[in-house]
Structure 1
Amino acid sequence: MSASASAGGLARFLDSDLWYSFTRSPVVVLSAVVALSMIGAAILAPWIAPHDPFNLATLDLLDAFTPPAWDAEGDPRYLLGTDDQGRDVLSTIMHGARISLFVGFCSVVFAMTLGVTIGLIAGYVGGTTDAVLMRIADIKLTFPAILIALLVDGLVRAALPRELHDRIALWVVIFAIGISNWVPFARTVRGSTMVEKNKEYVMAARVIGLSSARIMRSHVLPNVMGPVLVIATLQLGFAILAEATLSFLGVGVPPTQPSLGTLIRIGNDFLFSGEWWITVFPGMTLAVMVLSVNLLGDWLRDALNPKLR
């Protein structure tokens, strides 16, 4: 029964307007292929990377600053060359993308959870609660997200010992980026909730005695998640860029867990001395990753907008 139901669901999806819109756009298909390939390479990095950049026993400083393999002085073992510590650039990019994607995904989930919760409460309860929560959102919008993330990271660094901060630095960055980006979710969900709460199915739920929390969770929330998923896709690219910016400034993930931003910062020190590949290839990876995710987000926004059909 479940197998036939799954097959039926797949058949309906392949016959849907969403799938038709996806297959009719070569740019979107290419973006999906690129994004999935980079995500797959990042997830499988510990198993498919040519070298282990974190295994000090395999590193040799004599291999430092080796150009890419196609250069006359290159080494076939290092396709994209090596950095100042003799680490394979391709392997460090794969592991760095893994950290960047993890931070981006977790921060978006945190921002989405916080924003959706606040938006549901503000839109459903209304009145003073709505006014207070939305004024907090308005105040948040007056500060750039990067500035808030820097402030949060600075406060944590000042409050915690350095050893403890280094251990939780990854989660501090996730919290800092997430707390900076909950407002779009909250405002969107609030508007949709104010529309949904006046519909008949919500009124019927009230009549039969369901609590407000259950109505919001079981009835209103599923009907406002469409726009939320679009925002989450678009915010993922921004979160990856925000993490790269923080790491480039030296306040992101610790050097022992280098992300793409950390790799770009390290390579930037050697850019004008001729070792361009150390920073160019991580930078290109970051740009292509964010561009492909944003293109998918733009397509999803247009595909789910009934006014554009």
Structure 2
Amino acid sequence: MADPSLVSRAWNSDMGYSFRTSPVALVSALIALILIVAALFAPLLAPHDPMDVASLSLMDSFKPPVGMPDADWSNILGTDNQGRDVLSAIMYGMRISLVVGVLSTLFAIVVGVGVGLLAGYLGGVSDALLMRIADVQLTFPSILTALLVDGVITAALPGTMREALQIYVIIFAIGISLWPNFARTVRGSTLVERNKDYVMAARVIGVPSWRIMLNHVLPNVIGPVMVIATLGLGQAVIAEATLSFLGVGLPSTQPSLGTLIRFGNDFLFSGQWWVSVFPGIALILMVLAINLLGDWLRDALNPRLR
């Protein structure tokens, strides 16, 4: 349980004041909180279980959402072609999208921060080599990089293992496509920090380089990483949805928001628009809330705007 004094200090800090006086940040945080809670507790909150094939009936397919003729209040947002409740499917799909987005962003942070620290602190050949690798990757759109990595790894896996490992392949592919942004930011901050007096003093008394990087330099360059991580999470969710929409993402047994949009796209112009539109709205709200929180965090951590 959080210490009340710590919560009070955080609430009355500069960032706390910036947060509670920003309507955009408050609304974005509220939307993000609602979506995250709905996703995490989908098995408890969802009115139906879309993963339970035995409970599905084709007789319930294409029920319209509430507000249209022949609507059923037991399916507020209607049903899809298999009779799955769209609202429940969205809640379960958001959970998968968030898991993939968070884990791939964490993977990108670990790789990018590690590479950026090494390049900025060591300098010389190591810096040139690592940054040229990052520059080459940045010449390609991140979604194409993720698509290439996913295709190569999936083709190399045995057929019996592809579906079981697909979620890990997607996390790795998206994470690899995002790490250069973290690496370049951390490298630039590390170049500034490594010449400061506290780093010089640590070198003089014989502190190992790895300890200087982890205990002294890293805490002072982590601020920008928080902002990029927030924005990177939105990019990761969009990348996963794009890959799933293209049919190379998660298998149909693990439907994410992108998979739901792809399924509904086949019926978009035949009158059953809700099968695709409502998952699309959920995806837009999730990414928009995350990006607006990232924009607020960037402004809150910028001393020039205080």
TM-score normalised to the size of structure 2?
0.98
The CA deviation at 1:74 is 1.1
**1:268 equivalent in alignment to 2:270:** no
Partner of 1:235: 232
Could you tell me whether the CA contact under 8 Å between 2:154 and 2:166 is conserved in 1?
A: no
**1:148 equivalent in alignment to 2:145:** yes
**1:180 equivalent in alignment to 2:177:** yes
The CA deviation at 1:42 is 0.2
**1:96 equivalent in alignment to 2:88:** no
The CA deviation at 1:203 is 1.5
The CA deviation at 1:246 is 0.3
Partner of 1:215: 212
In 2, Cα distance between the equivalents of 1:15 and 1:53? Answer: 44
The CA deviation at 1:69 is 2.6
Partner of 2:109: 112
The CA deviation at 1:48 is 1.1
Could you tell me whether the CA contact under 8 Å between 1:156 and 1:165 is conserved in 2?
A: no
- String of CA shifts for 1:91-117, please: whole Å, max 9, x gaps: 000000000000000010000110000
In 2, Cα distance between the equivalents of 1:157 and 1:109? Answer: 22
The CA deviation at 1:157 is 2.1
| Greater Cα shift, 159-168 or 299-308 | 159-168
**1:284 equivalent in alignment to 2:281:** yes
Partner of 2:62: 65
Partner of 1:192: 189
Residue 258 of structure 2 aligns with an amino acid whose one-letter code is: G
**1:257 equivalent in alignment to 2:254:** yes
Partner of 1:132: 129
Q: What secondary structure does 2:29 align onto?
A: helix
In 1, Cα distance between the equivalents of 2:8 and 2:69? Answer: 53
In 1, Cα distance between the equivalents of 2:6 and 2:74? Answer: 46
**1:164 equivalent in alignment to 2:167:** no
**1:50 equivalent in alignment to 2:14:** no
Q: What secondary structure does 1:182 align onto?
A: helix
In 1, Cα distance between the equivalents of 2:251 and 2:234? Answer: 21
Partner of 1:36: 33
TM-score normalised to the size of structure 1?
0.97
The CA deviation at 1:307 is 1.1
User: Structure 1: where are the runs of 5+ without partners?
Assistant: none
Match for residue 24 of structure 1 among 21, 38, 57: 21
The CA deviation at 1:308 is 1.4
User: Structure 2: where are the runs of 5+ without partners?
Assistant: none
Could you tell me whether the CA contact under 8 Å between 2:98 and 2:237 is conserved in 1?
A: yes
**1:245 equivalent in alignment to 2:242:** yes
Partner of 2:81: 84
Residue 11 of structure 1 aligns with an amino acid whose one-letter code is: S
In 2, Cα distance between the equivalents of 1:270 and 1:163? Answer: 31
In 1, Cα distance between the equivalents of 2:287 and 2:50? Answer: 24
| Greater Cα shift, 277-286 or 210-219 | 210-219
Q: What secondary structure does 2:178 align onto?
A: coil
In 2, Cα distance between the equivalents of 1:274 and 1:9? Answer: 54
- What is the count of residue pairs matched by the alignment? 306
- RMSD over aligned CA atoms reads 1.1
Could you tell me whether the CA contact under 8 Å between 1:69 and 1:77 is conserved in 2?
A: no
The CA deviation at 1:7 is 2.9
Could you tell me whether the CA contact under 8 Å between 1:112 and 1:232 is conserved in 2?
A: yes
Q: What secondary structure does 1:181 align onto?
A: helix
In 1, Cα distance between the equivalents of 2:11 and 2:280? Answer: 36
Taking only the aligned residue pairs, the percentage that are identical comes to 64
In 1, Cα distance between the equivalents of 2:94 and 2:44? Answer: 14
Residue 251 of structure 1 aligns with an amino acid whose one-letter code is: V
